Amino acid sequence: MARDRLLPQVLGEISPKYRTPAKATIIFGISMIVVTWLYVFLSSVAGAFDTVVSVVGIMFALFYAVTGFTVTWAFRATVTSSPRNLISLGLIPVLGGGVLLAIALVSIRQLEPPAFWSLIAIAIVSCVMMTVARFGGGAAFFRTRAAEVGPQAI
């Protein structure tokens, strides 16, 4: 992301000796220590942090559930071509998606009102942003045609 100038350039520098982003590692390590101390000593921050972690966890569960279902849909032409494909492209992604969806739904029911409404607000803002990207921003992603996958590709 630093290479694409979405983050400061210093975070993209690679140490010639260690071949790692050493400066970024140190910066993020120190910032995590500071954030952890703030979390421990400020109860209102702790409550907000718990809300964020809950909502983000549910969002990731929903994202990966949809991804599991999408894998099976994308490879629907080849799922039944062999027992291996049936298991790896059909059964496992659908079962994984189903389990994650169930976990997300149970978790949503257990959310405190602030976390629940935060999740709803994020969903609404995300839908608005996606609509703007699709119809207003002309994002290339929405013009890209899906590749057709047949049994020979797997």
For the cut 90, the answer to whether the pLDDT of residue 129 exceeds it is no
* Residue-wise burial string across 77-98, b where 16 or more C-beta atoms lie within 10 A, e elsewhere: ebbeeeeebeeebbeebbebbe
Q: What is the pTM of this model?
A: 0.59
State residue 147's pLDDT score: 60
CA 105 to CA 110: how far, in whole Å? 9
Average pLDDT over residues 113-129: 87
**Please, what is the angle between helix 43-74 and helix 92-109, to 10°?**
150
Predicted confidence band of residue 67 (pLDDT cuts 50, 70, 90): very high
- Mean pLDDT (the chain) is 82
Q: pLDDT (tens digit, 9 = 90+) per residue, 3-61?
A: 656 567 888 888 888 788 888 889 988 988 887 777 667 667 667 777 778 888 999 99
pLDDT of residue 148: 55
**For the chain, what percent of residues have pLDDT higher than 90?**
30
Q: For residue range 84-106, what is the model confidence (pLDDT) as tens digits? A: 999 999 999 999 999 999 999 99
Could you tell me if 96 and 66 are in contact, meaning their C-beta atoms sit under 8 angstroms apart?
no
Taking residues 118-143, report their average pLDDT: 80
